[in-house]
Structure 1
Amino acid sequence: MDTLFICDDDQPAVKYYREILKEISLEEKLPFVLKTFSSGEEMLTAYDQQAPLLILLDIEMSGIDGIETARRMRVEKQYQGALLFLTNHDKVVMDSLDLGVERCLKKSLPVETVKQELRTMVKQALQQRIEITFDSLERGSQSILLNKLLTISAVGFGKRKLLVLKTTDGEQRIQGSLERFEEELETLDFCRVNKHTLVYLKNVQAIQDDALLLIDGTKVKMNRQNKRIVTEKILAAGE
């Protein structure tokens, strides 16, 4: 079962976020264990190799603050999961921190807004743990995390249909049908952008004219008739 961490030295705040997350768990039928910590030191000491699905981390804490705690989680503990900062500040500059913090949630937001933000974060974190299984021509049966996939492209025709799975780690060739993958992955933010290519929309960095710029810096051409649909789906995937 997945685990969520809440780290905040303000106990009423811990109780507040705990209750919201329990409601989300019941409403979405997503079972998870909640663990709470009153300091960064306590969380770092308790952390083991079973990484939590999501960490809610207060910035302003006694002892080591949330920013230093996040840095140690990333560097010392090699935590690669989702991080969400909790703050009372109107604005926190995150660009220079390079800590992979997905969001910064202001504590004074209305409860329904907080609940929706946390619901989105939990769902996104769960999606990043999904694995896609396929048969590689070179390596046999393989599994890859969904968030590493960039594109699936058809390169073979006739009886021998070949697909190329492009990931953040390289490319693999598989035998199969693009239509089958399109049907199976449609609910996981994949979209056909041209006749021969499916793109994982979560890994699109920007739209540039009639092309998509992916997080690895490469571009994928869109059919003009698909551009509006793809753009709408990218915006929906980012919500």
Structure 2
Amino acid sequence: MLQLAICDDEKIYRNDLKKIIRTELDLSGIEYHITEFSSGEELLNGIKETDLQIIFLDIEMKELDGICTAKKLREQKNTALIIFVTSYPDFVFQGYEVRALNYIVKPYEPEKIRSVLHTALEELELTSEKYYIIEQRNGTIRVPLDSIKYFTSDRRMIHVVTDSVTYDFYDKLSDLEARLSEAFVRIHNRYLIHLKYLDQIDGNTAIVDGEALPISRSCKTDLSIAFAKYMLH
């Protein structure tokens, strides 16, 4: 199980960071546990009981700051990947001497956090297939993202259309769009498609795995650009 820590003296930032990390790891199908610490001293004491692999460490903390905390971790021969969190990027240059992997600037940009997290997972050789997690009364369903052709909304009901089955759950398509990768693109107020399955754009119609779906005028330009970029990868 992947062991992570978030060390920040402000709870609101710990919560924001934890929410994004949890969503991404759930999508990746990786088992994990996140431990929170509110100070450098608390982290140094608690790390003796936990075999941490990734530490998100705030630099600007009272008393023992993040840089000093990281130095003490390295003095203790701790090899966890350290990702600094800071409101002032200038401080980040001090991270080289403690072999920090990367840094994140407050206020958080979810895409940056996801990128840095995946860099850490690759370093730990923990990358795996991504999933979309559907919570239902009778249990949790993990749908491989690669199998999803598109999401379509009917008021508050979302239908997940895959190459073999359709799942239903309650959500907003706009919220769903914000959580997914760039491979999923909005083509209409009711449709969010996976570019992998987009065969062609024919006027105001998207042909998705042989099925014709409508393209709204407001989405057409962004869809064309996204499709062109995807085809170049």
- TM-score, L = length of structure 2: 0.50
Q: Aligned ranges for residues 63-102 of structure 1 at < 5 Å?
A: 63-75=63-75, 77-94=76-93, 98-102=97-101
Aligned-partner residue type, residue 67 of structure 2 = I
Aligned identity (percent) is 26
Distance in 2 separating the partners of 1:63 and 1:110:
27
1:32 paired residue number: 32
CA deviation profile, 1:59-114 (whole Å, cap 9, x unmatched): 00012000000001110x21012101000113335268510111121123422222
Cα distance change of structure 1 residues 23 and 123 upon mapping to structure 2, 3 Å threshold: farther
Q: Aligned ranges for residues 130-169 of structure 1 at < 5 Å?
A: none
Q: Which secondary structure state, in structure 2, belongs to the residue aligned with residue 105 of structure 1?
A: strand
Cα distance change of structure 1 residues 117 and 29 upon mapping to structure 2, 3 Å threshold: same
Distance in 2 separating the partners of 1:35 and 1:49:
11
RMSD after superposition: 2.1
1:43 paired residue number: 43
Distance in 1 separating the partners of 2:33 and 2:18:
10
Partners of 1:51 and 1:79 within 8 A in 2: no
Q: Which secondary structure state, in structure 1, belongs to the residue aligned with residue 33 of structure 2?
A: strand
Check if 1:59 corresponds to 2:45: no
CA deviation profile, 1:110-158 (whole Å, cap 9, x unmatched): 2222222223223323459xxxxxxxxxxxxxxxxxxxxxxxxxxxxxx
| Alignment: residue pair count | 127
Partners of 1:73 and 1:79 within 8 A in 2: yes
1:19 paired residue number: 19
Ranges in structure 2 where 5+ consecutive residues have no aligned partner: 128-233
Cα distance change of structure 1 residues 62 and 103 upon mapping to structure 2, 3 Å threshold: same
Cα distance change of structure 1 residues 104 and 113 upon mapping to structure 2, 3 Å threshold: closer
Partners of 2:54 and 2:82 within 8 A in 1: yes
Which of the pair is proportionally richer in helix? 2
Shift of 1:6: 0.5
Q: Which secondary structure state, in structure 2, belongs to the residue aligned with residue 22 of structure 1?
A: helix
Aligned-partner residue type, residue 20 of structure 1 = I
Q: Aligned ranges for residues 105-184 of structure 1 at < 5 Å?
A: 105-126=104-125
Distance in 2 separating the partners of 1:42 and 1:6:
11
Aligned-partner residue type, residue 18 of structure 1 = K
Q: Aligned ranges for residues 188-203 of structure 1 at < 5 Å?
A: none
2:158 paired residue number: none
Ranges in structure 1 where 5+ consecutive residues have no aligned partner: 129-239
